[in-house]
Chain A
Amino acid sequence: MIRLTEVAKEYPRSGVALAHISFQVKKGEFVFLTGPSGSGKTTILKLLYMDDKPSEGEVWINGVSSRNASGREISRLRRRIGIVFQDFRLLEDRTAEANVRFALEVTGAPKATIRSKVARVLTQVGLSSKATSFPRELSGGEQQRVAIARALVNDPFVLIADEPTGNLDERATRGVFQLLRDINASGTAVIMATHDLDLVRRSNYRTIELNHGRVVFDSAESPASARPFDEPLPAFDTPSGSTEAI
């Protein structure tokens, strides 16, 4: 479903951001991308939603190749990808509901289905009571839930999250992370870049660690004992049952 082969990315001024990156993500998998600042996490995610093209190698995602994707194909691909950022990226002059609706309206979704879809995802993220609130009237965690609702409204096969909990306190972090787990449990793959090793350790998901633009660890390939963490913390309760990757 998602495959990177020998991907390299070089920026004109800052030089090599990624080199020799190869990995696959299966349908419905949950993958953490970790690594120090500047190691290339955001760059990989950008290549996944084709905001940028690799300098070398190839990115395959949902049947679209980075080598020959047309603008139209990229647009259509993004309708099947949910994208979430650290800074939420909500439109301040619109309510939560309008922010979610926006994603459907600008992709030409049929009008008749918009209202019910928006209501459904707002309920899914637990914000149906705040539908008419503006972003400034919401807490950070709530704003991120709106952003997640917007990412979900087109029924994506994968949710790409770049440090979604980076701006949140402990409590909100847990809530948002739990939401991502639930989303994953319902069959959507999640690729999440994070600095929060606590989250990584407490859950049992696949982890890809980057350093200086290279994969230095991939839990799918190494035995569990090789994980670069000293002692795993006790796992979160997982009320939604088995959320493990297929």
Chain B
Amino acid sequence: MRSAREALTASRRAPLLSALGVVTIAFSLFAFGLFGLVAINIRRALEQVEERVEVRAFLSDSADIEQVAAAMKDVGDFPEVLRVDYVSQEKALERARKEMGEFADVFEAGVLPASIEVHLRPGMRSPAVVKSVADRIKTYHFVDDVRYGEEWVEKLYRLRNIATVAGIALGVAFAAVAVIIIGATIRMTVLARAKEISIMRLVGATDMFIRLPFLIDGLVKGVLGGLLALLFVWIANRIVNEYFIQTIFFDRQMIFVGVVGGAMMGVLGSLVSVGRHLQRV
């Protein structure tokens, strides 16, 4: 097709700038992709952790068994609470032995206190909710201490938020640079082809016909940038998998969205620039 051919000749006129445009689009999407990957992996980790999120209330030795039973019923009626289990001293010891294996001998009966385990409903496991449930349980006088792994749940959440914000900020910054660079390439091409374009106008070529090659040029660059970014992210993911931790990669839909995002950046860069510069020819 003519437009495709013209688009390629347009890129050929400014090969360095064109390559730079593709690479910046790739960087932009790489930034989005990398932090997106961190975010989805943290989310998956959180989901796994959340299934285990529980509030454990350690009971004082003097706790009255009937009071505890009544309290368990009350807590079980909290809207956030899925289930409440009682863990006796013996059971706690047994569990500890199982988990600690060879160090099991350090535990002796009576060392570990009895406790109640409170499991929360799905969707009710964010740090704030967990804390509020824990605070309410703390008010029972026979409860010595309440634990809920607050720190690392909060840390994971915070990490996810940082990854999201950093990814978006960096991605947007690179996207802006990409749009500007693509615009500059178009500008050069339009100026280099000013005479041709003015003749096209004179003989009655439509505006769309004149713009199309530039838009295709941007589209091709965007898709190339998208694929390049995909390659970068994939390599990064492989390295992390190989040397650090198991991670999951994007699914097909997300990959598609990424490449389409690149294409949009390319077309946007072209559109903005071609509109501005064609007027002056």
Contact = CB atoms under 8 A, between A and B. Distances in A.
A and B from one complex: yes
B238 interface: no
Contact of A75 (B195, B198, B207): B207
Interface string B200-211: 111111110110
A79 B195 contact: no
B195 A89 contact: yes
A171 interface: no
Chain B CB within 10 Å — which of A71, A75, A102, A154 has the most?
Answer: A75
Contacts, number: 46
Interface of B is mostly: helix
Given A89-B195, A91-B195, A91-B196, A103 B203 contact: yes
A52 interface: no
Contacts of A83: 202-203
Contact of B2 (A77, A80, A105, A154): A105
B206 A75 contact: yes
Contacts of B199: 89, 91, 102-103
A71 B206 contact: yes
Contacts of A89: 195, 198-199, 202
Interface residues of B, number: 15
B230 to A, nearest CB: 36
Contact of A107 (B195, B198, B203): B203
Given A105-B2, A106-B209, A77 B204 contact: yes
Contacts of A30: none
A102 B202 CA distance: 11
Contacts of A150: 203
B208 to A, nearest CB: 9
B207 A79 contact: no
A67 interface: no
A89 B196 CA distance: 9
Interface string B176-207: 00000000000000000001101111111111
Chain B CB within 10 Å — which of A76, A78, A81, A154 has the most?
Answer: A78
A75 B2 contact: no
B205 A107 contact: yes
Given A91-B199, A102-B199, A107 B204 contact: yes
A106 B206 CA distance: 8
B203 A154 contact: yes
A108 interface: yes
A49 B204 CA distance: 10
Nearest to A82: B203
A78 B2 contact: no
Interface in B122-138: none
A13 interface: no
Interface in B205-264: 205-207, 209-210
A78 B204 contact: yes
Interface string B65-105: 00000000000000000000000000000000000000000
Contacts of B210: 106
Interface in A104-126: 105-108
Nearest to B193: A91
A79 B200 CA distance: 10
Nearest to B197: A106
A78 B202 contact: yes
A152 to B, nearest CB: 11
Contacts of B198: 89
Contacts of A79: 203-204
A81 B200 CA distance: 13
Contact of A78 (B195, B196, B203, B209): B203
Contact of A71 (B195, B200, B202, B207): B207
A91 to B, nearest CB: 6
Contact of A49 (B202, B206, B207, B209): B202
Contacts of B209: 106, 108
Contacts of B206: 71-72, 75
6 contacts: A75-B205, A75-B206, A75-B207, A78-B203, A83-B202, A91-B196
6 nearest A-B residue pairs (beta carbon): A78-B204, A79-B204, A106-B205, A103-B203, A75-B206, A106-B200
Interface of B: 2, 195-196, 198-207, 209-210
Given A75-B205, A79-B204, A106-B203, 5 more contacts: A76-B204, A79-B203, A83-B202, A103-B203, A108-B209
